[in-house]
Structure 1
Amino acid sequence: MEPRAEQGPEGEAGRVTAQLLKAKTGEFALDSILLLKLPGLGLWDLGCLGECASLEWLDLSGNGLSQLGPLAGLRYLAVLDVSANRLSSLEPLGACESLQRLNAAGNLLGSLPQLQGLAGLRRLESLRLHDARARLSNPLCASPAYPAALLGLLPGLRALDGQRVCGRGSELRQLCRDLDRSLERGAGGAGGAEPPGAALPWLEEGYWERRPARRGSVAEEAYRQFGEALRECRELGQRADNAIAQAERALGAPGSYVF
């Protein structure tokens, strides 16, 4: 039977307890939990969730949360989904210094100051406040100026609402736009062409250098599994090459026949 949240003061399920967390994860110590999924449980109070000090990945989507206070102590939290709740502020997340990806679509965020607390998160790369596929949004997203204003507040973002705004994809589009403008200037002929400006590098310095991987138990386990899968593929490929070579030798030997 699926574990549910503790009964609230009015008989309403919605409080996170140690028993709920242990039942969901199988972990005895709360500070040993790295990944936690609590979607659609009708949660209204995060209770002891702040005691999961090692938590790196958290799904709280589809609940009835109106505040995220207990999350302020989660220093290692990297991925957070709080979509489809009742949040009007994300201020406690300003203390989650490791946060990289945040989904807050489907809440009550109505103005840019309500996101001001995220401005100090240097590792935040992906933010979703609007999800057209899931039909989730925030009042803030109704303004046409919302994307530009948000990127001004969070210039380090690489993706906003599922669209890449920085990184390889955006740099390629910018490069194409620069080439188009150059061709347009050149098409005007010698008389109408604008004088060329100073040459700028297409890619920023150090773009192709390998970035140091972020450490984390969840990420390390994913890399390990990927490495094992890659090694198995290479072994299977070698076996296939050997089998093909043996078949070719057998077919090319004198006296061999194919029926």
Structure 2
Amino acid sequence: MEPQGEKPGEADRVHITPHFLKSRSGEFALESILLLKLRGLGLVDLGCLGECLGLEWLDLSSNALTHLGPLASLHQLVVLNVANNRLTGLEPLAACEKLQSLNAAGNLLATPGQLQCLASLRGLECLRLQDPLARLSNPLCTSPSYWAVVRELLPGLKVINGERMIGRGSEFYQLCRDLDSSLHPSSSPGPRVPRAQPWVEPGYWEPWPTRGSSILEEACRQFQDTLRECHDLDRQANSSLAQAEQALSPAGTTSAFVF
């Protein structure tokens, strides 16, 4: 028999208490916590998380959150990851005036209007609503026009879903798209396909930087995650180039060009 008033599974649920947050961060005071990683804990509410007034970096991904109410008091928050939850709105984040990066992929955001609350965040530069590698998205992303609507709603964004909207990054992306479109298989011999070569030697980026603050360590971890994604994309690109080369090269010949 389960304790009276306790729902099934509630005893095993993680609760956000001052003791839990202090033990998780190693800090003696909630106000001293700068970074928290609370990923995949099955959280359904945020408890006293709003008392961590100095929090700058927060990972709440892969939980079961339906609201972000306590985050409205986190005025120092710079980076927030709430991917893979059950959120239908982001309204409390309107008070996080220092927010620069938000990952909200894999939630239940159905219309661009639910992002209106972010319009007042002048420092918001990076927004993720989709993550193809993790197979995360939002219902609003099914609309062909959502991209343009989001850009109009949040003109200050520099990066959406990992793609740069301004600067040389967007030009490079367009160059890659043009190159990709030029490599469609053809029955005619056509031009030989250049084989891409690495810009740096293998392992150049592998060494882990010197450990410092917890925020620096987490930034390094995110960098390593990005590197793994780049390696995956590199393998996919090499496979596509090999198929295109085989289709475009005359039978019985090989090509070896430096890109």
Which of the five TM-score ranges fits, normalised by the shorter chain?
0.5 to 0.7
Shift of residue 136, structure 1, vs aligned partner: 0.3
Contact 1:14 1:45 in 2 (8 A): no
Partner residue in 2 for 1:158: 158
- Cα deviation code 1:166-200 (max 9, x no counterpart): 2332367789xxxxxxxxxxxxxxxxxxxxxxxxx
Partner residue in 2 for 1:169: 169
Partner residue in 2 for 1:99: 99
The structure that is helix-richer by fraction is 1
Partner residue in 1 for 2:16: 16
- Cα deviation code 1:107-143 (max 9, x no counterpart): 0000011111000000000000100000000000000
Q: Secondary structure at the match of 1:148?
A: helix
1:79 aligns with 2:79: yes
Unaligned runs of 5+ in 1: 1-7, 176-216, 226-259
Q: Write the letter of the residue equivalent to 1:117.
A: C
Q: 1:21 to 1:173 in 2, by over 3 A?
A: closer
Q: Secondary structure at the match of 2:119?
A: helix
Give, in whole Å, the separation in 2 of the partners of 1:167 and 1:125: 13
Shift of residue 218, structure 1, vs aligned partner: 6.8
What are the equivalent positions in structure 2 for 1:3-152 lying under 5 Å apart? 9-10=6-7, 11-12=9-10, 13-152=13-152
Structure ranking higher on relative contact order (CA contacts 8 Å, 6+ apart): 2
What are the equivalent positions in structure 2 for 1:186-205 lying under 5 Å apart? none
Partner residue in 2 for 1:250: none
Q: Secondary structure at the match of 2:49?
A: helix
TM-score (norm 1): 0.63
Identity, in percent, stands at: 63
Give, in whole Å, the separation in 2 of the partners of 1:96 and 1:41: 24
Q: Secondary structure at the match of 1:47?
A: coil
Shift of residue 15, structure 1, vs aligned partner: 2.5
Give, in whole Å, the separation in 1 of the partners of 2:174 and 2:49: 43
Contact 1:31 1:53 in 2 (8 A): yes
Unaligned runs of 5+ in 2: 176-212, 221-259
Moved over 3 A (4+): 171-175
Q: Secondary structure at the match of 2:61?
A: coil
Give, in whole Å, the separation in 2 of the partners of 1:104 and 1:9: 31
Contact 2:163 2:170 in 1 (8 A): no
Contact 1:83 1:107 in 2 (8 A): yes
Q: Write the letter of the residue equivalent to 1:88.
A: T
Partner residue in 2 for 1:181: none
Give, in whole Å, the separation in 2 of the partners of 1:28 and 1:136: 36
Contact 1:67 1:89 in 2 (8 A): yes
TM-score (norm 2): 0.63
Shift of residue 19, structure 1, vs aligned partner: 1.4
Give, in whole Å, the separation in 1 of the partners of 2:128 and 2:145: 16
Q: Secondary structure at the match of 1:120?
A: coil
Q: Secondary structure at the match of 1:36?
A: strand
Q: Write the letter of the residue equivalent to 2:34.
A: L
Give, in whole Å, the separation in 2 of the partners of 1:174 and 1:47: 45
Contact 1:93 1:118 in 2 (8 A): yes
Q: 1:9 to 1:92 in 2, by over 3 A?
A: farther
